Structure 1
Amino acid sequence: MHNVQKLAFGLLAAAAVASASDVHQLKKDNFDEFVKANDIVLAEFFAPWCGHCKALAPEYEEAATTLKEKDIKLVKVDCTEETELCQQHGVEGYPTLKVFRGLDNVSPYKGQRKAAAITSYMIKQSLPAVSSVTKDSLEEFKKADKVVLVAYLDAADKTSTEVFSKVAEKLRDNYPFGSSTDAELAEAEGVKAPAIVLYKSFDEGKSVFSEKFDAEAIEKFAKTASTPLIGEVGPDTYSDYMAAGIPLAYIFAETPEERTELSNAIKPVAEAQRGVINFATIDAAAYGAHAGNLNLKADKFPAFAIQDTVKNQKYPFDQEQKITLDSIKAFVDDFVAGKVEPSIKSEPIPESNDGPVTVVVAKNYNDIVLDDNKDVLIEFYAPWCGHCKALAPKYEELGALYANSEFKDKVVIAKVDATANDVPDEIQGFPTIKLYPAGAKDKAVTYSGSRTVEDLIKFIAENGKYKAEVAEKAEESAAPSATETTSTAAAEETHDEL
């Protein structure tokens, strides 16, 4: 009996440990006090029914445990119970994450929703823009993140110090920054002031900037040197590659061994094009469907393609050719020289296009969407997307309202299957809705409100050239919040989307 009691006690103790959380759940009566008592706090405003909140929960818990030793607190607020508190902090969708440095210094969380990303982001937020580094603290500072930058400066060189501080303030969300005026330490690190060493946990371990200190040049150096020579495309890195401003070369392969082998084979090409093209492998077993988005066959690997991330143009390498150093070098060199034509995937232009919602394909995209005389609201959708299917009848109703109004020749309600047609925009979730105003096609506005006819009408009226507002025929029930149903909607479908 004694052993049974010991076993039961042990199980209860284990359950208590398992249920313990390092995330503090706060309410209106203790939120302000908690925030004031801590130097930096990350707060998640959530709803129990929110799918994205449920997906975030284990990542948030893991980050909270890791950050506990750094004395960085993670908290959560249930907005279905604390409606007043959530309204007070401007919460419009779930989850909303905000960084608090007291109650008067609040900023939105701008990182990915993964444990490692949350941890990295919050450590950078907790540090001063530039930390003072000594010979005793340098090795520890190098471990603060996967990439850190340390400036070795002359104490009398105020100009270089100011330039570095300016860059650090601007990029503090991206990297930890340190500085030292110890000439012996600089010499030990192989540099002479003024210089910057970017330490990294991959590739060659560090990169050195020894040119004249110029903010733009330092930013470019940091961006290029902090990107792995051949990285990996996945849910955590995809958006960073898309925002890098330079083309991305994908190496598709189904096994880690094959990805390593191909990376090693074409490494000289990646080195020659560093800062011009990013190179990355991608797991074809998990994300092979993405090959189709690059106009490759999604069932024939290994494969290689380049994507112009700015214009969203695709350049697939002939899948009948073998991927070798020579073949890829020739292809990449031709791409850089402008000798490779982009591949354009398009459905046929519809024979009849007089419905309430205009059907756009790649071949008529410019003629319709970029018509400078019309405000064009366009939905980028995927046939398998559940949210798109739910929106369809309301979108048809919206189209009919404008088609039967005084604005029928000034406002176009359109849609495009973004999985079957190449479009200039890189679409990261479905549905994505954008308004291209007449006379300002380079200033498209992305819609982030509730998907109701009423709110879409307001959006067109507020952002279009013609301020076109039409009367709704019937009232609608409110749709789920924008944060819950936008961009990451693809994750709720049974597709491996990046």
Structure 2
Amino acid sequence: MVNKTILWSAIAASFASISNVLASDSDVLALTDKTFNKEVLDKSLMLVEFYAPWCGHCKALAPEYELAATDLKDKIPLAKVDCTENEATCREHGVQGYPTLKVFRNGESTEYRGTRKHEGIVSYMKKQALPNVSDLTEATALNDFKESDRVVVIAYVKPDDKETKETYDTLAAKLRDDFTFGLVTDEELAKTEQIKEFPSLVLYKQFDEKRVDLSGAALKDEDLTNFIKSNSIPLLDQIDAENFATYMESGLLLGYAFTDNEDDRAKYDALLRPVAEKFKGKVNLVHIDASKYGGHTSNVGLKDGEFPAFAIQNLNTASKYPYTGSDVSTTAFEEFVENVFSGKIEPTLNSEEVPETNDGPVKVVVGSQFNDIVLDKSKDVFLEVYAPWCGHCKNLAPTWEKLGEQVQGLKNSNLVIAKLDGTANDIPPEGDFKVEGFPTLKFFKAETNEMIDYNGDRSHADLIRFIKEHSTGKIELEVPVEEEQEEQKEAKDEAETVNHDEL
């Protein structure tokens, strides 16, 4: 472990030899196929952006990246590579999309996991420059360290407590990308921070209550992780694309206050802050700018354009709980959050109307009938979740219809071929899956409701083979001879093409 001031001096010196190939108005190093290895591979720490000039996300990142480079100048270099002109370097480093940011240490790279905002880039790279745990031995170093980032974690441990030190080191190594960790073993120095018990952990913040303490019995890794993550999220922050992942990783219910003007935001802040304090560590509450993210209302059961509004979402199951009460007060919101958290309120499901007739070869499923049809334990159900605009779904449609007609013509069959419009209907929690893309094909077995993913080719023949392999009853479905022959011919042609290409 090293003193922070000494560390930063060493880092600045180590980068003094970097070639001055920057434009006069930029602190970002522009690299090429010819200069990349020379400028990057022998440096102890560097951030590199791989980009394309036409990329909209790259254009949005550019000014933030420039500001970060200026802030980190003479400490940590930031560089960029234009992949449209330097394809060899980008290919060598596995760049598959733009922008891609990688942290390089002596030639070895890891993915950059921070935000794409100026302050976030600076904070993330400063953490990368520090050891896992910084040893703090003087009051000045301690005070500077406490103010060095938005969230700082410091453990106060007795010099001979090796077990807690090892646990803390392991924790810091795991969370170093997200938090800054310090250690104080001088008991007199600890007293200046009003530490009365050892070991103790203090989380210093530049928001809310500024400081949160955890002390007493031996500190375990899981306890420390939960403590840090639950207390590092502001009570009522503004949510956007940059910090959404933080809330996802917390695993807690997320309550959104949708507002589209400052007056409504201030009003809802006053109403919800006591609620956020009461449910801290159980439910996260956030403000969301309805003028920018109004489209998110459909994901939480609200109507776009009707603001202000409040709703809760379970990010693990995608369940939604819109607040529909007329009482807009702290008491009403508190009761609503409590009932959602305790399970007294059922989630709202998007669902189309139940079809008047549903006796076609492919059974139509809507959200409100999902459990009745798909989870009917007397049936095997092969379900397609589709989107009306999806090209792959349109290609599959005639094959899926043909499959349904074959099954419908069977005697004493317990198999159902079904489809659900995933853009208009939610999967209930009992369905126990998320739709990651279209079409999604799932097979639910009778008696157990065991769910099996279909990841094979979407040909008629392969679908039939899959059904025969997994169905609980005897299914008299056969692949038409002409289809079998056509598939064999296509496979042969493909093999010959591959062999020809390899020659």
TM-score range, shorter chain: 0.7 to 0.9
The residue type equivalent to 2:155 in the other structure is A
1:240 aligns with 2:246: yes
Counterpart of 2:296 in structure 1 is 290
Counterpart of 2:5 in structure 1 is none
Quick one: distance in 2 between partners of 1:18 and 1:30? 15
Answer yes or no: is the 8 Å Cα contact 1:183–1:193 preserved in 2.
no
Counterpart of 1:115 in structure 2 is 118
Answer yes or no: is the 8 Å Cα contact 1:295–1:314 preserved in 2.
yes
Quick one: distance in 1 between partners of 2:227 and 2:81? 40
Q: How does 1:406-425 map to 2 (within 5 A)?
A: 416-418=421-423, 420-423=424-427
Write out per-residue CA displacement over residues 56-79 of structure 1, whole angstroms, 9 at most, x where no aligned residue.
Answer: 32332232222225x222222222
Q: Cα offset for 1:266? A: 3.2
Answer yes or no: is the 8 Å Cα contact 1:44–1:95 preserved in 2.
yes
1:265 aligns with 2:271: yes
Quick one: distance in 2 between partners of 1:361 and 1:201? 48
Q: Provide the aligned C-alpha RMSD in A.
A: 4.2
Quick one: distance in 1 between partners of 2:231 and 2:384? 40
Quick one: distance in 2 between partners of 1:144 and 1:353? 66
1:95 aligns with 2:95: no
Counterpart of 1:168 in structure 2 is 172
Quick one: distance in 2 between partners of 1:172 and 1:148? 11
Q: Cα offset for 1:137? A: 1.3
Counterpart of 1:7 in structure 2 is none
Counterpart of 2:144 in structure 1 is 140
Counterpart of 2:18 in structure 1 is none
Q: Residues 360 and 136 from structure 1, CA distance in 2 versus in 1: closer, same or farther, beyond 3 angstroms?
A: farther
Counterpart of 1:489 in structure 2 is none
Quick one: distance in 1 between partners of 2:82 and 2:155? 43
- Report 1 or 2 for greater relative contact order, CA contacts < 8 Å, sequence distance ≥ 6: 1
Q: Residues 48 and 432 from structure 1, CA distance in 2 versus in 1: closer, same or farther, beyond 3 angstroms?
A: farther
1:199 aligns with 2:197: no
Counterpart of 2:127 in structure 1 is 124
Q: Cα offset for 1:414? A: 6.7
Q: Residues 124 and 415 from structure 1, CA distance in 2 versus in 1: closer, same or farther, beyond 3 angstroms?
A: farther
Q: Residues 429 and 280 from structure 1, CA distance in 2 versus in 1: closer, same or farther, beyond 3 angstroms?
A: farther
Matched residue SS, 1:29 = coil
The residue type equivalent to 1:275 in the other structure is G
Counterpart of 1:386 in structure 2 is none
Counterpart of 1:179 in structure 2 is 183
Q: Cα offset for 1:154? A: 0.9
* Structure 2: stretches of 5+ with no match in the other structure: 1-21, 408-414, 471-483, 495-503
The residue type equivalent to 1:335 in the other structure is V
Q: Residues 82 and 225 from structure 1, CA distance in 2 versus in 1: closer, same or farther, beyond 3 angstroms?
A: same
Identity within the alignment, %: 38
Matched residue SS, 1:91 = coil
Q: Residues 369 and 24 from structure 1, CA distance in 2 versus in 1: closer, same or farther, beyond 3 angstroms?
A: farther
Quick one: distance in 1 between partners of 2:433 and 2:48? 28
User: Of the candidates 150, 153, 177, which is equivalent to residue 149 of structure 1?
Assistant: 153
Counterpart of 1:331 in structure 2 is 336
User: Of the candidates 38, 42, 45, which is equivalent to residue 33 of structure 1?
Assistant: 38
Quick one: distance in 2 between partners of 1:271 and 1:308? 19
Quick one: distance in 1 between partners of 2:51 and 2:417? 36
Q: Cα offset for 1:424? A: 6.1
User: Of the candidates 310, 318, 321, which is equivalent to residue 312 of structure 1?
Assistant: 318
Quick one: distance in 1 between partners of 2:233 and 2:348? 27
Quick one: distance in 1 between partners of 2:367 and 2:148? 46
User: Of the candidates 64, 79, 95, which is equivalent to residue 75 of structure 1?
Assistant: 79
Counterpart of 1:3 in structure 2 is none
1:396 aligns with 2:394: yes
Q: TM-score normalised to the size of structure 2? A: 0.73
Answer yes or no: is the 8 Å Cα contact 2:385–2:422 preserved in 1.
no
* Structure 1: stretches of 5+ with no match in the other structure: 1-16, 384-388, 448-452, 476-498
Q: Cα offset for 1:435? A: 6.7
Matched residue SS, 1:220 = helix
Write out per-residue CA displacement over residues 66-100 of structure 1, whole angstroms, 9 at most, x where no aligned residue.
Answer: 2225x222222222222222221122222222111
Q: Cα offset for 1:294? A: 1.4
Matched residue SS, 2:203 = strand
Q: Residues 181 and 370 from structure 1, CA distance in 2 versus in 1: closer, same or farther, beyond 3 angstroms?
A: farther
Write out per-residue CA displacement over residues 434-454 of structure 1, whole angstroms, 9 at most, x where no aligned residue.
Answer: 675878988979x9xxxxx99
Matched residue SS, 1:243 = helix
Q: TM-score normalised to the size of structure 1? A: 0.74
Q: Cα offset for 1:45? A: 1.9
Quick one: distance in 2 between partners of 1:444 and 1:400? 21
Q: How does 1:365-380 map to 2 (within 5 A)?
A: 378=385
Counterpart of 1:346 in structure 2 is 351
The residue type equivalent to 1:338 in the other structure is G
Matched residue SS, 1:150 = strand
Answer yes or no: is the 8 Å Cα contact 1:303–1:323 preserved in 2.
no
User: Of the candidates 27, 44, 50, which is equivalent to residue 45 of structure 1?
Assistant: 50
Answer yes or no: is the 8 Å Cα contact 1:149–1:198 preserved in 2.
yes
